[in-house]
Structure 1
Amino acid sequence: METRYNLKSPAVKRLMKEAAELKDPTDHYHAQPLEDNLFEWHFTVRGPPDSDFDGGVYHGRIVLPPEYPMKPPSIILLTANGRFEVGKKICLSISGHHPETWQPSWSIRTALLAIIGFMPTKGEGAIGSLDYTPEERRALAKKSQDFCCEGCGSAMKDVLLPLKSGSDSSQADQEAKELARQISFKYGAQNPSGAPLPQPTQPAPKNTSMSPRQRRAQQQSQRRSSTSPDVLQGQPPRANHTEHGGSAMLIVILTLALAALIFRRIYLANEYIFDFEL
């Protein structure tokens, strides 16, 4: 498969490194790329203990963008589980629905732990989420062990190592819970789509000491100031040169007209005197 890809690509180098790190299955998760597509992985995770998913083994797909790890993967569950819809991209802070919360330092292993950690949480209407009853989820968890993936031919009961009760198993469970807690805490309250809730804006305080007429005059003055080009540029208002120039021109014309009239009267008066003397 290596000869099909540009080995200098950051995404290819990163995915090959992760494939080598995840080559050996654990008792909690396993993931590997398809033989003919490095950018599509199939994964298997064990349901978290002491939850409605205890005993379940769940299979799914991870589709990675060419810009990985700068952009997040899309996660799709293929095994019925009662928490995430089957065959639909699920909405998590670590999935493709929220590129604004994705961190390039995260990896496919991080995504697997996040799935395990978020399974016992409430769906709250997020995209691809379900809120089945505990009884339904336990029944699906028991049934999940018989699931066989047509895409990769994996049988769930043969993918993961037998569950151990040692410190390594407990550490993986705690890591999944801690990761889910950190992501939920870091990005705060979320709306049904998984995006952070907008912060309410406080209205501007009103000056109750002013009369209605004074407030209207102040609002009109503020509107004129905000629409002035000089104010928008942070400069003091300038005089209206067009208006002043027109007034000056009118004064010059009137002055010239008056001077012409006076000159004509003087000329006519001198001509009358000259004729009288003759």
Structure 2
Amino acid sequence: MNAIDFCYTNFQDHHWEEWIASGVDREIITLNVKSLEGTTPYEYLIYSPKISRRNDGRLRDRDLKKYRHIEHGGWWCSGIDPLDEYNPMMWGCFKPDKPRRDPSKINKYIKYEHPYKEATRAFFLQVSNAAWALVSRYSGIEVKSEDWKHPWGFWYWVWRKNVPIVIVEGAKKAACLLTAGYAAIAIPGVNAGYRTPKDEDGNIIGKPFLVPDLKHFATPYRRVTICFDHDKKPETVQRVRTAIKRMGKLLAVEG
């Protein structure tokens, strides 16, 4: 049995087929994605010490009710953490098979869940050697013997060699671009690349700043491309343009 066959046991068929249909390299899928069901998703989503619990350690009823849908299963995706010596990142996203309704929008569902009460991060997906070689070829930046052997791997090479990066919205889009030979970093929303300090009442009390994950890669002379979906709704178009402008300005200031 080869590695791909072995890793395939981590997937329900429809989850595997969803990623394959998106054009993602099989090894990239097996390195970053897995199917979860039953109570297992709670371990990935409900771990923050900021979550209020009962005296016996159990979740409060309101949170149990809020997240009951995750027990029906879904897929989980996470990558590595460049701020923690490129170890596996605890944070990630879960796409439930039966999503919950969005309480703030009529007839809308929350497509992806992220760890409750935890700040959002960026996705740095692990790659196959073939994808790494393709990124090297397209960027024109050589992968030397010591790069292949370094325990911190692909993303350390991207950081150290100032490899051009592409910032996208959503882990699956990043996986597609990595498959195609681009060093793609994903954020979970167009505004997730930066934060704006606010007080408890939601009033802005400071200037926007890059999230630490992106700031780490905002090195001098690195080429950064921001690539978000095109939308026809005027309000969405304006929101995306504003996000690109703000994040682009912050990246330029850092690098």
The two structures share one fold, judged by TM-score above 0.5: no
Give me the TM-score of the superposition, normalised by structure 1. 0.24
Give me the TM-score of the superposition, normalised by structure 2. 0.26
